[in-house]
Amino acid sequence: MRARRSCLHVRMMLAALGRTCARLRWPVLGAWLVLLTAGAVLGGQVFDRLTPTGSLRPDAESHRADERVDRLQPEGPVIVAVVGGRDVYDPALVAAVGAVTGEIRGMDGVTEVEDLYSAPGGRIGADNRSSLIRVELDRGLPGDRREQVEDAVAAALHRIDAPQVLVGGEKLAERAFADQAVADAAFGESVALAVLLVVLIAMLGGVVAGLIPLAAALATVTVTLLGLFGLTAVTGVSEFTVNVVTLLGIGLAVDYALLILARFAAEREAEGEARGEAEPGVPVAELIARTLATAGRTVLISGLAVASAMAGLSAFAEPLLGAMALGGAVAVLLATVAGLTLVPALVAVAHRRIPATLFRRRTGSPLLARLAVLAQSRPGPVALAVAGGLLALSLPFLSAVDLENSGARALPAPAEARRLHEVVQRDFSAGRADPIVVVADTDPAGEAFRDYLNRINTLDRVVRVEPRPDIPGPAAVLDVTPDGATAGEPSRDTVRAIRALDPPFPVLVGGAAAELVDHRDSVADRFPVALLVVLLSTVALLFVLTGSVVIGLKALLMNALTLLATLGVLVVVFQWGVGDTLLGFESWGAIDVTTPVLLFVFVFGLSMDYEVFLLARIKEQVDRTGRPGDEAVLDGIRRSGPVVTAAAVCIGVVFLGFLLGDLIAVKEIGFAMAVALLLDVTVVRGLLLPALMSLLGAWNWWAPAPLRRLHDRWFAGGRTGPAGPVPATGRPGRDRRSPSLGR
């Protein structure tokens, strides 16, 4: 008896929470209003505290190399300008450049100005009609003051009378990225929310019903901004983090609100109540209690599953991924809390305006149910066809992906910082890679260093080795130019080859190629830990929900197929450029190195979202009928399929909002998530899931005997009916085609 009470403990708590939120609807809404106000006042200030967040961990060798070079050869922020389109020795142009550079030299905060006419070794472009200007600012300028000087220098450079003047630099590119990210977020979220409202009203059959999920989404994103504002006190938060995290929160909040609404309508219909006939307060409170006892448990487990995926992201040491993990965890937590408190309170207020036939008439034909019938009719061929098709889609990623740091290339093609980067690479670097920087702490005149220098010179694919002058000893800095592109495979191989030389003195290897090597190696080293966190949490949570180990392992397989297929499509579009014009961007020939890691987390998290939605209903049917066969699977899919389809459409609208912006790295996430949702909700959940469950039969619900006893004692749910959850009175029966359930 005590065991059975413990089985129902969570459901009873959720039922009590639903009853409380319904009866105290106005205080609950008042509390959320306070949070919304705080989020609107303080959360909006997060945009003033955003900082560029590096993708490289502090102890990476390339990062330490940069710091060592900065100590040996201190340099302030640099602004670069390309002046082109006229003969570089045109007297009028020479005079214009001289006047502007003279003005810049007199500015407070400027250390040095170099141009073709005033500095030895001035640089002329390959077209012989462009030249380079380099402006170095004082080190240690406060952020606000540095930006003022940058703006003044850029404005002066743009006054040069030439057909083409492009101004940029690392800090200016970071600011351009930040400004573009904020603009993209504002525009993308506004359009996505407007379209989302129209979709919700059409799906739910009424304005009031459609406003409930939207209210949950707005509350989640506003309070998430408040949480991110708090995070800025302990860690750096970037604009990219805000973009991704807020849209994730919107999508999850809508998903959970739809699930609660659908279950409330089902409970009300099962009770036989007509609209407006319920006694105010008490009957509605009981219906909401039953709703949270069932759908609330699903929301809780789903939220924990997505949060576990965020925990997997925190296993990586890179600051950008760490900030994304913390911000994502905040968004998931708030979406879950909103689903369990705000949505029930809103339903209690507006229950008479919620259509009685919610998700039955308004969503059209039950797509997932029809797909499931097809899959169950021929489970073997369907499973093989779907798995083979998904693996085929994954081949571009598995065989040809090129992961690089996007940098200025993440900006839209017309952006000045990106155009400057491309012109400098083409006309002033002869298409050669940026140098690999080697810092050696030894006497550069010693025999050991000369031998080391000769060994670098004889490495394959090394084009040039240049020692930097005026380095205070005993130390030396070498600029090693490799063959190929800056972050291409030859450059990365050269970095590894230099690091493998093992000289008898301390050496650090840095530069752009080394940064990419360090990032990729760090992610590869820590990926098993992140994968283990996600795998264990997924299997554990699905075991709590279903009592099965097999279902958890099967979910991992399906999620992996969805992820790999999505990454394959991503390579075709964003790396190969197939359809890039249609999507409003210009491919730069690679995928941002952080994108696959983020997609690993988001795709696994959201796929688990829908897996939990479907399995919760399937498990209810198994518990109710005692038969774990195809009929229970089909009935569970038939009942939950419309909600899953509606949720996928809504969250797809949200992620498609990413495509409205101009940052390519953000477009990658939005496009990939839309593809993942399309694949997951059609071929994976609609075909592969029922096909595999049909093939496995009662083996779906297998677990080792000790785990089975643990689940029966602490986690097993009872039957659900109009009166709420009651203890299960029997065990699921055996499928005639399947082995024992192992009880």
pLDDT in tens, 334-347: 999 999 999 999 99
**Can you tell me the distance from the alpha carbon of 235 to that of 243, in angstroms, rounded to the nearest whole number?**
17
491 by Cβ neighbours in 10 Å (0-12 / 13-18 / 19+) ranks as: buried
* CA nearest neighbour of 561 among 669, 656, 687: 687
Confidence of residue 649 (pLDDT cuts 50, 70, 90): confident
Return the number of other C-beta atoms located less than 10 Å from residue 96's C-beta.
Answer: 17
* CA nearest neighbour of 69 among 441, 434, 421: 441
More confident of the two residues 729 and 128: 128
Confidence of residue 709 (pLDDT cuts 50, 70, 90): confident
Phi, psi of 27 (to 5 degrees): -60, -40
Q: Is-above-0.85 flag for pTM?
A: no
Count of all residues that appear for the chain in the document: 743
Phi, psi of 718 (to 5 degrees): -95, 180
- Contact (CB, 8 A) for 327 and 241: yes
Of these ranges, 128-142, 317-331, 575-589, the one predicted with the greatest mean pLDDT is: 128-142
Q: Under DSSP, is residue 721 helix (H, G, I), strand (E, B) or coil?
A: strand
Phi, psi of 470 (to 5 degrees): 60, 40
Give the contacts of 687 (CB within 8 A, at least 6 positions apart).
371, 372, 374, 375, 382, 386
Whole-Å CA distances, 295 to 250, 259, 544, 628, 701: 19, 7, 15, 21, 21
What is the distance in angstroms between the CA of the first residue and the CA of the last residue of the chain?
19
**Can you tell me the distance from the alpha carbon of 69 to that of 510, in angstroms, rounded to the nearest whole number?**
9
**Can you tell me the distance from the alpha carbon of 668 to that of 56, in angstroms, rounded to the nearest whole number?**
20
The rounded percent of the chain whose pLDDT value lies above 90 is 34
- Mean pLDDT (whole number) for 557-570: 94
**Tens of pLDDT, residues 15-34:** 999 999 999 999 999 999 99
- 245 is written with which tokens? 């995290």
The H or E element that residue 135 is part of is: strand 130-137
For tokens 């990939």, what's the residue? 672
Is residue 721's pLDDT more than 50? Answer: no
Instruction: Look at residue 523 in the predicted model and tell me its pLDDT.
Output: 86
Of these ranges, 36-50, 372-386, 601-615, 718-732, the one predicted with the greatest mean pLDDT is: 372-386
Q: Which of 3-7, 206-210, 228-232, 300-304 has the lowest mean pLDDT?
A: 3-7
Instruction: Look at residue 735 in the predicted model and tell me its pLDDT.
Output: 42
- Contact (CB, 8 A) for 153 and 79: yes
Confidence of residue 561 (pLDDT cuts 50, 70, 90): very high
- Contact (CB, 8 A) for 523 and 318: yes
**Can you tell me the distance from the alpha carbon of 743 to that of 734, in angstroms, rounded to the nearest whole number?**
11
- Contact (CB, 8 A) for 550 and 705: no
73 by Cβ neighbours in 10 Å (0-12 / 13-18 / 19+) ranks as: middle
Peptide bond into 474 cis (omega under 30): yes
- Mean pLDDT (whole number) for 664-680: 88
**Tens of pLDDT, residues 235-270:** 777 777 777 788 788 888 998 999 999 889 888 887
- Mean pLDDT (whole number) for 382-397: 96
Give the contacts of 23 (CB within 8 A, at least 6 positions apart).
281, 285, 348
**Tens of pLDDT, residues 464-503:** 999 998 888 789 999 999 988 887 888 999 999 999 998 9
More confident of the two residues 343 and 326: 343
Is residue 66's pLDDT more than 80? Answer: yes
Instruction: Look at residue 220 in the predicted model and tell me its pLDDT.
Output: 92
- Contact (CB, 8 A) for 339 and 256: yes
Is residue 742's pLDDT more than 50? Answer: no
Instruction: Look at residue 137 in the predicted model and tell me its pLDDT.
Output: 94
- Contact (CB, 8 A) for 735 and 628: yes
Instruction: Locate all alpha helices (DSSP H) within 73-132, ordered by sequence.
Output: 91-105
The residue type at 276: G
The per-residue pLDDT of the chain, averaged, comes to: 84
Domains and CATH numbers, the chain: 1-59+205-362 (1.20.1640.10), 61-175 (3.30.70.1380), 367-414+523-718 (1.20.1640.10), 435-510 (3.30.70)
Phi, psi of 232 (to 5 degrees): -65, -15
More confident of the two residues 462 and 269: 462
- Eight-class DSSP state of 86: S
Q: Rg for the chain (alpha carbons), in Å? A: 30
Instruction: Look at residue 653 in the predicted model and tell me its pLDDT.
Output: 83
Of these ranges, 44-58, 228-242, 327-341, the one predicted with the greatest mean pLDDT is: 327-341
**Can you tell me the distance from the alpha carbon of 261 to that of 291, in angstroms, rounded to the nearest whole number?**
9
The pairing of strands 724-726 and 462-467 is unpaired
Instruction: Look at residue 196 in the predicted model and tell me its pLDDT.
Output: 86
The H or E element that residue 440 is part of is: strand 436-440
The rounded percent of the chain whose pLDDT value lies above 70 is 91
The residue type at 246: T
**Can you tell me the distance from the alpha carbon of 267 to that of 222, in angstroms, rounded to the nearest whole number?**
31
Is residue 50's pLDDT more than 80? Answer: no
Confidence of residue 1 (pLDDT cuts 50, 70, 90): very low
Is residue 7's pLDDT more than 70? Answer: no
The H or E element that residue 540 is part of is: helix 512-546
Confidence of residue 656 (pLDDT cuts 50, 70, 90): confident
* CA nearest neighbour of 238 among 173, 327, 153: 327
Whole-Å CA distances, 21 to 177, 318, 349, 400, 585: 43, 40, 10, 53, 47
